[in-house]
Amino acid sequence: MSNKNMSYRNDLISKLDVNDLDVQQRVMALKQGFIAKGMSPDVALNSAYKALDFTVTKQAAVLSYMDVFLYLGVLFLICIPFILMVRKRKDKEAIDMSAAMH
């Protein structure tokens, strides 16, 4: 799971471009929010970059957990026919055993 997490994180970071207007606006909005809370501009900018990094890491974790749940769901779907076959055999054996006892 950690390999997928890092893979998703690298993929998401590669999409962040310093020259992209949306990224610049996001960083400036975070910076202004931190300045409004009383930080100096340089500390606020560093905190904005850390917050953006945390957001990317959180999104990568969500994507990797989605993969794990998908794999578990497929595994359970594959196991259902085997469970039904075992259950039918046990029912037949139980009938045979009760008939033999009487």
pLDDT tens for 27-54 read 999 999 999 999 999 999 999 999 999 9
pTM, full prediction? 0.71
Q: What is the pLDDT of residues 60-89, one digit of tens each?
A: 999 999 999 999 999 999 998 888 887 666
Q: How many residues does the chain have?
A: 102
Copy the structure tokens of residue 11. 């993929």
- Model confidence at 2, pLDDT cuts 50, 70, 90, reads confident
**Residues 67, 84 contacting (CB under 8 angstroms):** no
Q: Does residue 98 have a pLDDT over 90?
A: no
Report CA-CA distances (Å) from 82 to 15, 48, 76, 88.
44, 52, 10, 10
Q: Does residue 100 have a pLDDT over 80?
A: no
